[in-house]
Amino acid sequence: MSVTEPATRTTLRAEERSLSGWGRTARSRARVLRPRAVDDVVAFLASEARPGRGVIARGAGRSYGDAAQNAGGDVLDMTGLDAIVSIDAGRGAVTAQAGATIARLMAELAAHGLTLPVVPGTRHVTLAGAIASDIHGKNHHRDGALARHVLAISLCTPAGGLTELSPRADPDLFYATLGGMGLTGVVVEATLAVEPLASPWVAADVDRTDGLEQTLELMAEGERHRYSVAWLDMLAEGPKMGRAVLSRADPLPSGAVSSRPRERTGGSSDPRAMSRAPVLHVPRGFPAVLLRPGGMRAFNALRWRASPSRERGRAVALAPYLFPLDALGEWNRLYGHAGLIQYQLAIPSGREAELLRCFELMRRHRLPVYLAVFKRFGPAFGGPMSFPIDGWTLAVDLPAGAPGLRAALDELDELVAGAGGRVYLTKDARLKRDVLAAMYPRLDEFHALRARVDPEGVLRSDLALRLGLCEPAA
């Protein structure tokens, strides 16, 4: 239901800026405005947002591609709305504004003995960005994606003003917003379910595999741990390609670790440190020449050999386990001026033959996969644009300037779509619209909902224009 009347004209200051995603590709220029209050957003959508320019909300800029850009139009920088409104331990809920980061939420919740049930691979995304992406973590097989844990959303739409959504109040729009890439409205506030924080530690079981076949066999076993993730060596040659270090973990109970295990922590065990900035940063102008397949192949081999072949109950601090890359600030600069593409696919259970063909395609094209993370997904849940499906997911980091990369990924798109799989739009910077409907078969539902809340097509982004997401259904 709509709870506000149209507001008067806003007086937000505007700045022309060049924007990109975390991958630092596909830059475009837009007029950026920074709301300081919810009324600013309501007023802007009511009086200044125009179909010719369009508008999209932007958080911390951590989506890899062009989802939070709007060439020649307007972008609402929501990081100024970052208040944590309330923490209700009795109800098991936290309410916060759009720009509050996962890091800050986790730090504040830890002081109350609480934590979030689902987090992405970085703590530096905003709450609204997490909702727009329907983020998932290392525990999707058990706890699902964020959509299972959102209790309410305050959404500002061009047609309806400020609207309160929940799984009971306009559930279709509620779930379409989760994974909707900001195209159903501007999230200004949300309430999430929280859970007790057992301790700032997990106990990890580590297994090392010798090749892809062994990796798949081990990961196909029934999963009893809460967290599970595998690092894959995609640059190893021959039968070693796809060798992995598989880590599966469960929270340790309070008091289980009495002192800090020196070499096992990998970082601070104090969850209040979640919001601290990294100590090390990659400098501007980092030369991409230092990141080459030969050097990365040697690094991967060293990393694989340094991992135990089998270890049980290793105590690891929660933050470095959940967010390993956050230890290095601005790590995307490692890829140089051309940037990186992260390609994340999902393949349904029962289509393992096609999954193997995806690996073979990457091997055949000799794609320079510098980082590969492999996980299992549990059952699909949520709206038409939610990414996770019951099966397998692989995320790979690739230098954007690699020869033949775009053509190889186009071929991979066709293979993934033909298998009933999909790519994650939050990571995407180059998908073509002709395969989108095959990957997201509920696309017509999404278009119908957009027609209701944004009939003039005010909400748009570079990603939406590229994929036809802000156009009426055919």
Write down the domain spans for the chain.
201-436
Q: Which residues touch 258 (CB under 8 Å, ≥6 apart)? A: none
pLDDT for 52 equals: 85
- CA distances 296 to 241, 247, 448, Å, are 14, 21, 46
At position 203, the amino acid (one-letter code) is A
**Helix residue ranges, H only, 419-453:** 436-439, 443-453
Of 28, 8, 24, the residue nearest 65 (C-alpha): 24
Q: What residues does 394 pair with on adjacent strands?
A: 345, 374
Distance separating alpha carbons of residues 68 and 206, to the nearest angstrom: 37
For 421, phi then psi, to 5°, come to -100, -170
Question: Strand runs (DSSP E) across 224-327, as ranges?
Answer: 227-233, 243-251, 280-281, 310-317
Which DSSP symbol is given to 5? P
pLDDT for 100 equals: 98
Q: Are strands 280-281 and 227-233 parallel, antiparallel or unpaired?
A: unpaired
Provide the CA 86 distance to its chain's centre, in angstroms.
25
Region 201-436: CATH code: 3.40.462
Q: What share of the chain is helix, strand, coil (3-state, %, to 5)?
A: 30, 25, 45
Neighbouring CB atoms inside 10 A of 219's CB total 20
Residue pLDDT, tens place only, 193-218? 999 999 999 999 999 999 999 999 99
Distance separating alpha carbons of residues 423 and 414, to the nearest angstrom: 11
Asked if residues 189 and 96 have their Cβ atoms less than 8 Å apart, the reply is yes
Q: What angle do CA 262, 268, 271 make, to 5 degrees?
A: 140
Distance separating alpha carbons of residues 343 and 431, to the nearest angstrom: 10
Q: Please give the structure tokens belonging to residue 230.
A: 């595998």
pLDDT for 5 equals: 45
Distance separating alpha carbons of residues 416 and 343, to the nearest angstrom: 12
Q: Are strands 74-77 and 28-33 parallel, antiparallel or unpaired?
A: parallel
Neighbouring CB atoms inside 10 A of 4's CB total 14
Of 340, 405, 414, 374, the residue nearest 138 (C-alpha): 374
Q: Which helix (H) or strand (E) holds 208?
A: strand 201-208
pLDDT < 50 positions in the chain: 1-7, 260-266, 473-474
pLDDT for 273 equals: 65
Residue pLDDT, tens place only, 244-303? 999 999 999 987 776 544 434 445 556 666 667 788 999 998 887 778 888 999 999 999
pLDDT for 472 equals: 56
